[in-house]
Each structure stands twice: as C-alpha cells, then as structure tokens.
Chain A
Amino acid sequence: AQKVTQAQTEISVVEKEDVTLDCVYETRDTTYYLFWYKQPPSGELVFLIRRNSFDEQNEISGRYSWNFQKSTSSFNFTITASQVVDSAVYFCALLLNTDKLIFGTGTRLQVFP
C-alpha cells in the first residue's frame, strides 16, 4: 500500500511556541520523493520542501526544519517560534514512479496571538 498518514488533524499553539507536524508514509518503492505543502486560509497550495529517498539529511530553512527518518518512514516538520501567519493546513505528500502525488489528509495548524 502507498499512503501518507498525518495523524494530527488539528493543532493549536500560542505564538512563539515550537510545533511539530507528523508525517508517516508507506511505500515499497526504493526511489520516492516527499513533499510538504502549506495551504493558508486564502486557499492556494504553497510548496515548502521536496526531499528524495536517498537524502536523509535534515534540512533547516529559517524557522522551518524537517526531519526525515527512513527507519521509521517519517518526514516530520517543525516550526520554531510559531507566528500567527503560520496558521494554515499543512500537507505531507509522497511522489512515486507513477507520478501521482499522494497527499496526506492534512494538519490544520492554528497559531493564536
């Protein structure tokens, strides 16, 4: 089976808190890519990161960081010092050789001032 699970449906935090969004994927393919997209209240889908299955290095981009662990099939996303503008639905997605981007069900993050 090929699927992406985002077990956290909704997370609420207060500004400046750190928050981690979990993503667990399933695939038997050895070559695949993982993505995170952000969908703010305005509705568009904004690309955040793409990571291939052969690169397990963690990545940091400003307040955002990603932890990829093949051993646990996880690709978690952490926002440090969250801000109100981070409020959005965040989607983890898996791309296989079939070229179909398989999305998780999304995690709604609400950051309160």
Chain B
Amino acid sequence: DTAVSQTPKYLVTQMGNDKSIKCEQNLGHDTMYWYKQDSKKFLKIMFSYNNKELIINETVPNRFSPKSPDKAHLNLHINSLELGDSAVYFCASSRTVKYEKLFFGSGTQLSVL
C-alpha cells in the first residue's frame, strides 16, 4: 500500500489553464504539506495543513489554493497556470507538526506549455 499517493504523476497543460493535483495519505498522520522542486532540484515548502487547518503558507501566488477536505487529503489547485509553474510538486505528511519525519509522495511533474 502506498503511504502517500498523489495523482497525476505527470501533468502537461497549456498556459492559462486551471489544474488540480490530488494527494492522499493512509498513515493516519495529522499534518500534510506541499513542496515544490524547481528545475535545479531546489525543494521549498509551499503549504502545510494540520488537521485540515492551514498552518504554513509561504510566499506563494494566490493562484495556488490548497484544499483539505479531511486530514487524509490535501489537494492543490492552480489557477491560470504560467510557464514558471513548471516544476515537480511533492505532497508529504507527518505524524504531527513538531519535528517529525516527513513521508513524501512520488511527485507530480507539471509542465506548462
């Protein structure tokens, strides 16, 4: 069983479109995250939710909107996609918010044309 699963694995779309990436964890964790990895492999946090509540919101354009319907799911919706949004997006989860090991999904490679 995959612990943190995200879909789709690849997403190719045109500029200006709206797209969503879904993430689910079956570990019973309270906290979920979205990280972005750019073309130079640099990883940076975007958002974090604890029990459906937003706790970290980095300086991310408001075209990016996370949604957590329950603590096992954290979806990422992106409006009006831009070329610079092309990256690999990783979902992750941890048991609680403090100092816990993060379990990562396998990533979604987003290509905006």
Contact = CB atoms under 8 A, between A and B. Distances in A.
Interface of A: 31, 33, 35, 37, 39, 42-45, 47, 50, 52, 89, 91, 95, 97-101, 103, 105-106
Contacts of A52: 99
A52 B98 CA distance: 12
A35 B107 CA distance: 19
Give the top 8 A-B pairs by smallest Cβ distance, nearest first. A45-B104, A103-B43, A44-B106, A33-B99, A106-B41, A100-B45, A43-B107, A99-B97
A103 B42 contact: yes
A74 to B, nearest CB: 20
18 contacts: A35-B102, A42-B106, A43-B106, A43-B109, A44-B105, A45-B90, A45-B92, A45-B104, A47-B102, A47-B103, A52-B99, A95-B99, A99-B56, A99-B99, A101-B45, A103-B43, A105-B41, A106-B42
Contacts of A105: 40-42
